[in-house]
Amino acid sequence: MEIAVRRNEGSDNKVVKLLMLLLGVKVAVILFLVFAVGLIFGPLFLLGGLGDIGAEWSKDTGSWPDGVEWQPVEEIPVHLMPHFKAAEEKYGIPWWVLASIAFKESSFRPTPTGPSNHTGELARGMMQFLPSTWKTYGVDGDGDGKADILNPIDSIYSAANYLAANKAANKGSIRDALWRYNQSDDYVNEILAIAEGYRLQEAWQRDGYGFPLPTTNPRYTGSFGDPRDGHSHGGVDIVCDYGTPLLAVVGGTIRHSTSPAGGNEIWIDAPDGMSYFYCHMSQYVARPGQRVSVGQTIGLAGSTGISSGPHLHFGIMVKGKWINPRPFLDKLLK
């Protein structure tokens, strides 16, 4: 057995990583991270064809057939999504974890070659497998009869295969399985934080979430990150009339607070791990501790606190940090 250890210098803050992801920052930092893949040997097996799902990657040109140039992206390419999900179904590794690895390793680039590990072996392909690891875990994901390390679809199923074997060997722990992939706690934390972002982004597109105001055409007057009196604006501002009903964006449990800046503030602590925040309210409707459903009126808009006129300041907090709520809100109105 042979293990390649990679260290991800200077990028150990998972919250920052999640923020970057959700902020939509084009994360060029990926290009600076050192590549290699940890490896463990185990039984090799090949998949039968999984059928014709998603776009076909060309093994002749090493690219997607439409000729679209690769560039660093954090959004999961739509043509890969069915493969991430099918790989989850087959191997029991959550699709968002697989997608997070693909983002972290290559920004979904089909055919990168990373730096060598200590044996001089080069990591290859979207999931940055070492060829020696691939020999053991590489599978034919797209059903063309060949397990190709440079085929991104094959690499998705192969990473799932690898993680499933290591998960089984580590008491079912996905964290331990990821640690085998690259023996660094920073790496594991980052992968899981990015994965959580992917999971949430999809959750936000599904039923169970709604816009916080009764409008489909919101007018934003403040953006996340705007400079405000020596701090950074922690949410977005949406203009609305005084007394407009403020709607629960998701079901959850209500909290109240007040502050000189926010005036009357209300929070929804949601099962998705996020706290959704509304402030400057003229009036509370939902009581502290009350369980509310999506779309329920929890308060009325106003201009309490530091505010130049009636509006909703809306924020999302995860693990004590504000994240940009705009991607969430935009997806709700798509």
User: Where do contacts with Zn ion occur on this chain (CB under 5 A)?
Assistant: 222, 237, 313
Give 14 or 313: the residue with its C-beta nearer to Zn ion: 313
Give 165 or 300: the residue with its C-beta nearer to Zn ion: 300
Question: Cβ of residue 146: shortest distance to Zn ion, in angstroms?
Answer: 55
- Residue 334 to residue 331: CA distance in whole angstroms: 5
Q: Give residue number: closest CB to Zn ion.
A: 313
Residues 57, 61, 66: CA angle, nearest 5 degrees: 55
Question: Cβ of residue 179: shortest distance to Zn ion, in angstroms?
Answer: 40
* Residue with token string 């106003």: 302
Give 109 or 313: the residue with its C-beta nearer to Zn ion: 313
Give 148 or 237: the residue with its C-beta nearer to Zn ion: 237
Q: CA dist 104 to 182, 194, 225, Å?
A: 12, 8, 25
Question: Cβ of residue 328: shortest distance to Zn ion, in angstroms?
Answer: 16
Rounded to 5 degrees, what are φ and ψ at 95? -60, -35
Question: Cβ of residue 233: shortest distance to Zn ion, in angstroms?
Answer: 6
Give 114 or 325: the residue with its C-beta nearer to Zn ion: 325
Q: CA dist 58 to 23, 79, 156, 225, 314, Å?
A: 32, 13, 16, 42, 45
Rg (CA), the chain: 23
Question: Cβ of residue 272: shortest distance to Zn ion, in angstroms?
Answer: 22
Question: Cβ of residue 263: shortest distance to Zn ion, in angstroms?
Answer: 11
Facing residues of 277 across strands? Answer: 267, 315
What DSSP string describes 284-318?
E-SPTT-EE-TT-EEEE-B--SS-SSSEEEEEEEE
Q: CA dist 171 to 165, 166, 167, 235, Å?
A: 11, 9, 7, 41
Question: Cβ of residue 127: shortest distance to Zn ion, in angstroms?
Answer: 41
- Residue 10 to residue 165: CA distance in whole angstroms: 30
Give 222 or 295: the residue with its C-beta nearer to Zn ion: 222
Rounded to 5 degrees, what are φ and ψ at 313? -95, 120
Closest CA to 36 of 9, 67, 5: 5
Give 143 or 222: the residue with its C-beta nearer to Zn ion: 222
